[in-house]
Amino acid sequence: MRVIDSHTEGEPTRIIVEGGPSLGKGPLAERRQRFAEEYDDVRRFCVTEPRGYDALVGALLCEPLDRTCVAGLIFFNNVGYLGMCGHASIGAAVTLAHMGIISPGRHRFDTPVGVVEVDLIDRNYAVIENVPSYRHVKCVSVEVDGLGQVVGDVAWGGNWFFLTEALPCPLNLANIDQLTRAASDIRLALKENGITGAGGAEIDHIEIFGPARSAEADSRNFVLCPGTAYDRSPCGTGTSAKLACLAEDGKLQPSEPWVQESIIGSRFKASYRGGANNTVVPSIGGRAFICAEGVLIRSQDDPFRDGIGEV
Protein backbone atom coordinates (compact mmCIF):
# COMPACT_ATOMS: atom_id res chain seq x y z
CA MET A 1 0.00 0.00 0.00
CA ARG A 2 1.50 3.35 -1.04
CA VAL A 3 0.88 6.26 1.34
CA ILE A 4 1.87 9.90 1.67
CA ASP A 5 2.08 11.44 5.15
CA SER A 6 1.63 15.12 5.92
CA HIS A 7 0.76 17.29 8.87
CA THR A 8 -1.63 20.22 8.95
CA GLU A 9 -0.70 22.70 11.66
CA GLY A 10 0.80 19.78 13.58
CA GLU A 11 -1.98 17.21 13.08
CA PRO A 12 -0.89 14.21 10.98
CA THR A 13 -2.65 12.77 7.94
CA ARG A 14 -1.84 9.57 6.04
CA ILE A 15 -3.40 9.34 2.59
CA ILE A 16 -3.72 5.99 0.83
CA VAL A 17 -2.83 6.78 -2.78
CA GLU A 18 -2.41 3.21 -4.10
CA GLY A 19 -3.36 -0.24 -2.88
CA GLY A 20 -6.50 0.66 -0.94
CA PRO A 21 -9.72 -1.37 -1.02
CA SER A 22 -11.98 -1.21 -4.05
CA LEU A 23 -15.30 0.18 -2.78
CA GLY A 24 -17.23 0.63 -6.03
CA LYS A 25 -18.58 3.85 -7.50
CA GLY A 26 -21.59 4.79 -5.35
CA PRO A 27 -22.05 7.74 -2.96
CA LEU A 28 -19.14 8.30 -0.61
CA ALA A 29 -21.33 7.68 2.45
CA GLU A 30 -22.21 4.23 1.09
CA ARG A 31 -18.58 3.49 0.27
CA ARG A 32 -17.54 4.51 3.78
CA GLN A 33 -20.09 2.04 5.16
CA ARG A 34 -18.72 -0.68 2.89
CA PHE A 35 -15.19 0.17 4.06
CA ALA A 36 -16.29 -0.22 7.69
CA GLU A 37 -18.21 -3.46 7.16
CA GLU A 38 -15.90 -5.30 4.75
CA TYR A 39 -12.42 -3.77 4.97
CA ASP A 40 -11.94 -2.54 8.52
CA ASP A 41 -8.73 -4.58 8.68
CA VAL A 42 -7.30 -2.12 6.13
CA ARG A 43 -8.09 0.82 8.42
CA ARG A 44 -6.39 -0.88 11.36
CA PHE A 45 -3.40 -1.92 9.25
CA CYS A 46 -2.93 1.64 7.98
CA VAL A 47 -3.23 3.82 11.08
CA THR A 48 -2.82 1.72 14.21
CA GLU A 49 0.41 0.41 15.70
CA PRO A 50 2.90 -0.90 14.66
CA ARG A 51 2.59 1.11 11.39
CA GLY A 52 0.65 4.06 12.80
CA TYR A 53 -0.23 5.74 16.09
CA ASP A 54 -3.27 7.17 17.87
CA ALA A 55 -3.06 10.74 16.55
CA LEU A 56 -2.82 9.66 12.90
CA VAL A 57 -5.86 10.34 10.70
CA GLY A 58 -6.15 8.35 7.49
CA ALA A 59 -7.85 9.17 4.21
CA LEU A 60 -8.55 6.90 1.27
CA LEU A 61 -8.10 8.67 -2.06
CA CYS A 62 -10.81 7.37 -4.37
CA GLU A 63 -12.87 8.21 -7.43
CA PRO A 64 -15.51 10.88 -6.72
CA LEU A 65 -19.18 10.32 -7.47
CA ASP A 66 -19.63 14.02 -8.20
CA ARG A 67 -17.78 14.51 -11.48
CA THR A 68 -17.04 18.16 -10.67
CA CYS A 69 -14.69 16.93 -7.92
CA VAL A 70 -11.01 16.21 -8.43
CA ALA A 71 -11.04 13.39 -5.87
CA GLY A 72 -13.07 11.52 -3.31
CA LEU A 73 -11.89 11.21 0.29
CA ILE A 74 -13.00 8.78 3.01
CA PHE A 75 -11.60 9.66 6.44
CA PHE A 76 -10.80 7.33 9.34
CA ASN A 77 -8.71 7.12 12.50
CA ASN A 78 -7.53 4.57 15.04
CA VAL A 79 -11.04 3.80 16.33
CA GLY A 80 -13.35 4.25 13.34
CA TYR A 81 -14.57 6.51 10.55
CA LEU A 82 -15.19 10.25 10.23
CA GLY A 83 -17.74 12.16 8.20
CA MET A 84 -15.37 14.98 7.33
CA CYS A 85 -11.94 16.13 8.44
CA GLY A 86 -10.82 19.70 7.89
CA HIS A 87 -7.13 19.27 8.60
CA ALA A 88 -6.98 16.15 6.42
CA SER A 89 -8.73 17.98 3.56
CA ILE A 90 -6.07 20.68 3.69
CA GLY A 91 -3.44 17.93 3.86
CA ALA A 92 -5.06 16.20 0.87
CA ALA A 93 -4.86 19.38 -1.21
CA VAL A 94 -1.16 19.77 -0.46
CA THR A 95 -0.61 16.05 -1.10
CA LEU A 96 -2.37 16.13 -4.48
CA ALA A 97 -0.27 19.14 -5.45
CA HIS A 98 2.85 17.24 -4.35
CA MET A 99 1.73 14.38 -6.64
CA GLY A 100 1.24 16.77 -9.55
CA ILE A 101 -2.51 16.11 -9.74
CA ILE A 102 -3.62 19.66 -8.93
CA SER A 103 -2.04 23.11 -9.02
CA PRO A 104 -2.89 26.30 -7.12
CA GLY A 105 -6.52 27.30 -7.65
CA ARG A 106 -10.00 26.16 -6.64
CA HIS A 107 -10.89 22.47 -6.52
CA ARG A 108 -13.62 20.24 -5.09
CA PHE A 109 -13.45 17.09 -2.95
CA ASP A 110 -16.26 14.56 -2.60
CA THR A 111 -16.70 13.35 1.01
CA PRO A 112 -19.22 11.17 2.87
CA VAL A 113 -21.02 14.31 4.17
CA GLY A 114 -20.98 16.33 0.95
CA VAL A 115 -18.75 18.29 -1.41
CA VAL A 116 -15.97 20.38 0.13
CA GLU A 117 -14.32 23.13 -1.90
CA VAL A 118 -10.64 23.91 -1.47
CA ASP A 119 -8.58 26.84 -2.66
CA LEU A 120 -4.94 25.83 -2.88
CA ILE A 121 -3.06 29.09 -2.42
CA ASP A 122 0.47 27.69 -2.73
CA ARG A 123 2.33 24.44 -2.10
CA ASN A 124 1.71 24.60 1.67
CA TYR A 125 -1.41 26.71 2.27
CA ALA A 126 -5.02 25.90 1.46
CA VAL A 127 -8.45 27.21 2.41
CA ILE A 128 -11.34 24.76 2.57
CA GLU A 129 -14.98 25.78 2.28
CA ASN A 130 -16.60 23.22 4.54
CA VAL A 131 -20.06 21.68 4.48
CA PRO A 132 -22.92 23.81 5.93
CA SER A 133 -22.57 23.94 9.72
CA TYR A 134 -25.06 24.75 12.46
CA ARG A 135 -25.79 24.71 16.17
CA HIS A 136 -28.20 21.94 17.10
CA VAL A 137 -28.81 22.80 20.78
CA LYS A 138 -27.66 25.78 22.86
CA CYS A 139 -26.61 25.64 26.52
CA VAL A 140 -26.92 21.94 27.23
CA SER A 141 -26.22 21.15 30.89
CA VAL A 142 -24.80 17.79 31.99
CA GLU A 143 -23.48 16.53 35.31
CA VAL A 144 -19.93 15.21 34.92
CA ASP A 145 -18.05 13.25 37.59
CA GLY A 146 -15.28 15.41 39.02
CA LEU A 147 -16.38 18.51 37.11
CA GLY A 148 -19.93 19.12 38.30
CA GLN A 149 -22.40 20.84 35.98
CA VAL A 150 -20.88 21.42 32.54
CA VAL A 151 -22.71 23.66 30.08
CA GLY A 152 -22.04 23.71 26.36
CA ASP A 153 -23.48 23.70 22.84
CA VAL A 154 -24.09 20.80 20.49
CA ALA A 155 -23.11 21.71 16.94
CA TRP A 156 -22.34 20.16 13.55
CA GLY A 157 -19.29 21.10 11.50
CA GLY A 158 -18.93 17.91 9.48
CA ASN A 159 -18.73 15.90 12.74
CA TRP A 160 -20.75 16.26 15.95
CA PHE A 161 -19.26 18.43 18.70
CA PHE A 162 -19.98 19.42 22.26
CA LEU A 163 -18.38 22.84 22.74
CA THR A 164 -17.78 24.18 26.23
CA GLU A 165 -15.84 26.88 28.04
CA ALA A 166 -15.86 24.85 31.26
CA LEU A 167 -12.09 24.76 31.80
CA PRO A 168 -10.89 21.96 34.11
CA CYS A 169 -7.38 23.50 33.99
CA PRO A 170 -5.35 25.92 31.83
CA LEU A 171 -5.11 24.98 28.15
CA ASN A 172 -1.45 24.10 27.81
CA LEU A 173 0.55 21.02 26.86
CA ALA A 174 1.50 20.27 30.46
CA ASN A 175 -2.18 19.54 31.16
CA ILE A 176 -2.88 17.19 28.22
CA ASP A 177 -3.58 14.20 30.46
CA GLN A 178 -6.00 16.14 32.68
CA LEU A 179 -7.75 17.67 29.67
CA THR A 180 -8.07 14.27 28.02
CA ARG A 181 -9.64 12.76 31.14
CA ALA A 182 -12.05 15.67 31.49
CA ALA A 183 -13.12 15.57 27.84
CA SER A 184 -13.53 11.77 28.01
CA ASP A 185 -15.71 12.15 31.10
CA ILE A 186 -17.82 14.80 29.36
CA ARG A 187 -18.31 12.55 26.34
CA LEU A 188 -19.32 9.63 28.56
CA ALA A 189 -21.78 11.82 30.51
CA LEU A 190 -23.39 13.01 27.28
CA LYS A 191 -23.87 9.42 26.17
CA GLU A 192 -25.21 8.27 29.54
CA ASN A 193 -27.71 11.14 29.58
CA GLY A 194 -28.94 10.56 26.04
CA ILE A 195 -27.62 13.88 24.71
CA THR A 196 -26.97 13.50 20.99
CA GLY A 197 -26.71 15.28 17.70
CA ALA A 198 -29.55 15.36 15.19
CA GLY A 199 -31.30 12.03 14.66
CA GLY A 200 -29.67 10.49 17.72
CA ALA A 201 -26.14 10.81 16.29
CA GLU A 202 -23.35 10.24 18.78
CA ILE A 203 -21.39 13.31 19.88
CA ASP A 204 -17.88 11.95 19.46
CA HIS A 205 -15.82 15.19 19.53
CA ILE A 206 -15.41 17.32 22.66
CA GLU A 207 -14.07 20.88 22.27
CA ILE A 208 -12.95 22.91 25.28
CA PHE A 209 -12.29 26.63 24.77
CA GLY A 210 -10.28 29.20 26.66
CA PRO A 211 -8.49 32.51 26.11
CA ALA A 212 -5.90 32.65 23.34
CA ARG A 213 -2.26 32.84 24.38
CA SER A 214 -1.28 34.77 21.23
CA ALA A 215 -2.41 38.32 20.59
CA GLU A 216 -3.02 37.25 16.99
CA ALA A 217 -5.66 34.64 17.90
CA ASP A 218 -9.23 34.94 19.18
CA SER A 219 -9.47 31.70 21.14
CA ARG A 220 -7.53 28.60 22.17
CA ASN A 221 -8.99 25.11 22.14
CA PHE A 222 -8.45 21.51 23.15
CA VAL A 223 -10.26 18.98 20.98
CA LEU A 224 -10.65 15.32 21.93
CA CYS A 225 -11.22 13.24 18.81
CA PRO A 226 -12.99 9.85 18.75
CA GLY A 227 -10.87 7.58 20.90
CA THR A 228 -8.40 9.23 23.25
CA ALA A 229 -6.20 11.24 20.86
CA TYR A 230 -6.30 15.04 20.96
CA ASP A 231 -6.15 17.23 17.86
CA ARG A 232 -2.80 18.93 17.44
CA SER A 233 -4.35 21.38 14.96
CA PRO A 234 -7.18 23.79 15.88
CA CYS A 235 -9.57 21.23 14.26
CA GLY A 236 -11.26 22.23 11.01
CA THR A 237 -14.67 20.71 11.69
CA GLY A 238 -14.51 21.91 15.30
CA THR A 239 -13.71 25.46 14.20
CA SER A 240 -16.64 25.21 11.77
CA ALA A 241 -18.94 24.21 14.63
CA LYS A 242 -17.61 27.12 16.69
CA LEU A 243 -18.32 29.59 13.87
CA ALA A 244 -21.91 28.35 13.69
CA CYS A 245 -22.38 29.06 17.40
CA LEU A 246 -20.73 32.49 17.21
CA ALA A 247 -22.83 33.44 14.20
CA GLU A 248 -26.11 32.42 15.83
CA ASP A 249 -25.20 34.42 18.94
CA GLY A 250 -24.42 37.50 16.83
CA LYS A 251 -20.80 37.50 18.02
CA LEU A 252 -19.25 37.06 14.56
CA GLN A 253 -20.43 38.59 11.31
CA PRO A 254 -20.16 37.08 7.80
CA SER A 255 -16.65 37.43 6.34
CA GLU A 256 -15.28 38.61 9.71
CA PRO A 257 -12.05 36.69 10.47
CA TRP A 258 -11.74 34.36 13.45
CA VAL A 259 -8.33 32.94 14.32
CA GLN A 260 -8.50 29.68 16.23
CA GLU A 261 -5.41 28.61 18.16
CA SER A 262 -4.75 24.96 18.99
CA ILE A 263 -3.43 23.45 22.20
CA ILE A 264 0.06 23.45 20.63
CA GLY A 265 -0.22 27.06 19.42
CA SER A 266 -0.84 26.43 15.70
CA ARG A 267 -3.64 28.41 14.03
CA PHE A 268 -6.45 28.27 11.51
CA LYS A 269 -7.80 31.48 10.01
CA ALA A 270 -11.55 31.14 9.59
CA SER A 271 -14.63 33.05 8.44
CA TYR A 272 -18.08 32.16 7.15
CA ARG A 273 -20.84 33.12 4.77
CA GLY A 274 -24.52 32.56 5.32
CA GLY A 275 -25.97 29.25 4.19
CA ALA A 276 -29.44 27.87 3.66
CA ASN A 277 -31.79 26.95 6.52
CA ASN A 278 -29.94 28.91 9.22
CA THR A 279 -26.60 27.28 8.53
CA VAL A 280 -23.22 28.88 7.94
CA VAL A 281 -20.67 27.87 5.32
CA PRO A 282 -17.24 28.06 6.98
CA SER A 283 -13.92 28.74 5.31
CA ILE A 284 -10.86 27.38 7.14
CA GLY A 285 -7.30 28.20 6.12
CA GLY A 286 -4.13 26.50 7.30
CA ARG A 287 -0.71 25.15 6.37
CA ALA A 288 0.22 21.56 5.56
CA PHE A 289 3.61 20.00 4.92
CA ILE A 290 4.59 16.69 3.37
CA CYS A 291 6.39 14.51 5.93
CA ALA A 292 7.02 11.23 4.14
CA GLU A 293 6.23 8.91 1.26
CA GLY A 294 6.24 5.20 1.85
CA VAL A 295 4.94 1.71 1.20
CA LEU A 296 3.20 -0.18 4.00
CA ILE A 297 3.90 -3.91 3.90
CA ARG A 298 1.40 -6.52 5.06
CA SER A 299 3.01 -9.93 5.46
CA GLN A 300 0.61 -12.84 5.94
CA ASP A 301 2.82 -14.40 8.60
CA ASP A 302 2.96 -11.13 10.59
CA PRO A 303 0.84 -11.62 13.75
CA PHE A 304 0.11 -7.87 13.69
CA ARG A 305 -0.54 -7.54 9.97
CA ASP A 306 -3.92 -5.93 10.77
CA GLY A 307 -2.53 -3.66 13.49
CA ILE A 308 -2.56 -3.88 17.26
CA GLY A 309 -5.89 -3.44 18.99
CA GLU A 310 -9.30 -4.94 19.51
CA VAL A 311 -11.00 -6.49 16.50
Which positions are annotated as active-site residues?
Answer: 85, 235
Asked if 242 contacts 252 with a C-beta cutoff of 8 angstroms, the reply is no
Pick from 273, 195, 190: nearest CA to 224: 190
CA gap 242, 247 in Å, rounded? 9
> Residue 79 to residues 227, 228, 299, 310: CA-CA distances in angstroms?
6, 9, 22, 9
User: Do 230 and 173 form a contact (C-beta atoms < 8 A)?
Assistant: no
The Cα–Cα gap between 223 and 238 comes to 8
Distance CA(22)–CA(62), nearest Å, equals: 9
Number of Cβ within 10 Å of residue 208's Cβ equals 25
